[in-house]
Amino acid sequence: MANREITMTDFPVVDKTLDDLKQKDVVARIWRKDHTVWQPEPKEVTNRLGWLTLPEFMKEKVPELISFAGEVCDAGYRHVVLLGMGGASLGAEVLYQTFGSARGYPEFKLLDSTVPDWVAAVAEAIDPAHTIFLVSSKSGGTIETLTFYRYFRGLVEQSVGKERAGQNFVAITDAGSSLAGLAEEAGFRRAFLNPEDVGGRYSVLSYFGLVPAALIGIDIMSIIERAGEMRRQCAADAPVQENPGAWLGAFIGTFARQGRDKLTLITSPSIGSFGLWLEQLIAESTGKEGTGVIPVVGEPFVAPENYGDDRLFMYLRLKDDDNEDIDRAVGRIKSSGQNVITLELKDRHDIGAEFFHWEFATAVAGSILGINPFDQPNVQAAKDATSRVLQEFQNSGRLPPLEISDSLDELLSEANRGDYLAVMAYTRQMPELEKACAELRRKVMEKHHIATTAGYGPRLLHSTGQLHKGGPNTGLFLQVTTAHKHKIPIPGVPYTFNILADAQALGDLQTLRSLKRRVVRINLDSGDAATFARIVSSFT
Nearest to 144 by CA among 170, 166, 176, 112: 112
CB-CB contact of 426 with 480 (8 Å): yes
At residue 8, the pLDDT reads 44
pLDDT tens, residue by residue, 398-430:
999 888 888 999 999 999 999 999 999 999 998
**Tell me, what's the pLDDT at 410?**
94
Q: What is the pLDDT of residue 11?
A: 83
Mapped onto helix, strand or coil, the DSSP state of residue 191 is strand
Distance CA 278, CA 314 (A): 12
According to DSSP, the β-strands at 340-345 and 3-4 are antiparallel
- d(C-alpha 119, C-alpha 113), whole Å: 7
Per the DSSP assignment, residues forming a β-bridge with 175 are none
- Mean pLDDT over 312-328 rounds to 97
Kindly state the average pLDDT of the residues 314-328.
Answer: 97
pLDDT value at residue 3: 64
Asked if 507 contacts 385 with a C-beta cutoff of 8 angstroms, the reply is yes
Q: Is the pLDDT of residue 121 over 80?
A: yes
DSSP 271: G
For residue 169, give the nearest of 191, 151, 154, 144 by alpha carbon.
191
Given pLDDT bands bounded at 50, 70 and 90, which one contains residue 266?
very high
The pTM score is: 0.97
CB atoms within 10 A of CB 292: 25
Strand order in the sheet with 451-456: 451-456, 420-426, 475-482, 518-524
d(CA 470, CA 278): 18
Q: Tell me: pLDDT of 1 over 90.
A: no
* Residue 9 pLDDT > 70: no
Q: Give the bridge partners for 420, in sequence order.
A: 451, 475
3-state secondary structure of 99: helix
Q: Cα separation of 359 and 477, whole Å?
A: 27
Residue 290: band (very low, low, confident or very high) from pLDDT cuts 50, 70, 90: very high
Closest CA to 190 of 90, 94, 64, 53: 64
User: How confident is the model over 445-469, as pLDDT tens digits?
Assistant: 999 999 999 999 999 999 999 999 9
Question: Is it the case that residue 478 has pLDDT exceeding 50?
Answer: yes
Q: Are 141 and 161 in contact (CB under 8 A)?
A: no
Residue 156 pairs in a beta bridge with none
Dump pLDDT digits (tens) for 37-84: 999 999 999 999 999 999 999 999 999 999 999 999 999 999 999 999
Q: Are 14 and 341 in contact (CB under 8 A)?
A: no
Could you tell me which residues come within 8 angstroms of residue 232 by beta carbon, excluding any fewer than 6 positions away?
none
Dihedral of the alpha carbons of 28, 31, 35, 39, in degrees to the nearest 10: 60
Helix (H, G, I), strand (E, B) or coil at 144: helix
DSSP string computed for 435-461: HHHHHHHHHHHHHH--EEEEEETTGGG
Using DSSP's 3-state secondary structure scheme, residue 404 falls into: coil
Answer yes or no: is pLDDT of 387 > 60. yes
Which residues are 421's β-sheet partners?
Answer: 452, 476
The Cα 111–Cα 88 span in angstroms is: 11
Domains, the chain, in order of start with CATH, read 3-32+236-369 (3.40.50.10490), 53-218 (3.40.50.10490), 379-538 (3.40.50.10490)
Predicted local confidence at residue 4, as pLDDT? 61
Q: What is the mean pLDDT of the chain?
A: 95
What DSSP string describes 275-338?
HHHHHHHHHHHH-BTTB--EEEESPPP--GGGS-TTEEEEEEEETTSS-HHHHHHHHHHHHTT-
For the chain, percent of residues with pLDDT exceeding 70 = 98
For 45-82, the three-class secondary structure string (H helix, E strand, C coil) is CCCCCHHHHHHHHHHCCHHHHHHHHHHHHHCCCCEEEE
What is the reported pLDDT for 526?
66
If you average pLDDT over residues 109-123, what whole number do you get? Answer: 97
- Report yes or no: 43 and 263 within 8 Å, Cβ to Cβ: no
SS3 199: coil
In this predicted structure, the answer to whether residue 7 has a pLDDT above a threshold of 70 is no
Cα separations (Å) of 74 from 68, 101, 106, 170, 477?
10, 16, 11, 16, 48
Tell me how far apart the alpha carbons of residues 173 and 294 are, in angstroms, rounded to a whole number.
29
φ and ψ at residue 497, rounded to 5 degrees: -60, -35
E strand segments, 141-243: 169-174, 190-194
